[in-house]
Amino acid sequence: MKKRIHVLVAAAVLAVPTISYSAGISDAELSATTCFSCHGPEGKNVGGAIPALAGYPEKVMVEQLKNFKSGKRPSTVMQRHIKGYSDAEIEDLARYFSTLKP
């Protein structure tokens, strides 16, 4: 019985489809979806104190995000969020947001 359960579990794990992001979605675009919950759908804020990100100048965003990461720019939430990103990922995110229409 135990062996049969192990075989069934292994078969189930192997049957799970893998997720493929080769459908034209970049890593930056995928990462940006985590920003949308606060900064609005597609980075287009719907009001309030949180700024819109769509169309934000790339160089300015890179500088600000790196300042959040280093602690040079204080924040209540952003410093914790951005710490998980490398400098290259920050630059990719900024480039992505700069291409979105406000």
Domains located in the chain, CATH noted: 23-99 (1.10.760.10)
pTM of the predicted model, to two decimals? Answer: 0.74
pLDDT 10s digits, 44-68: 988 888 999 999 999 999 999 999 9
Reported as a pLDDT band with limits 50, 70 and 90, residue 3 is low
Find out whether 52 and 45 touch, Cβ atoms under 8 Å.
Answer: yes
**Region for 26 from its dihedrals, namely left if φ exceeds 0, alpha if ψ lies in -120 to 50, beta otherwise:** beta
**Dihedral Cα 51, 92, 34, 66, nearest 10 deg:** -60
Does 100 have pLDDT greater than 80? Answer: yes
Q: Which tokens belong to 14?
A: 């192997």
Task: Check residue 25 and give its pLDDT.
Answer: 86
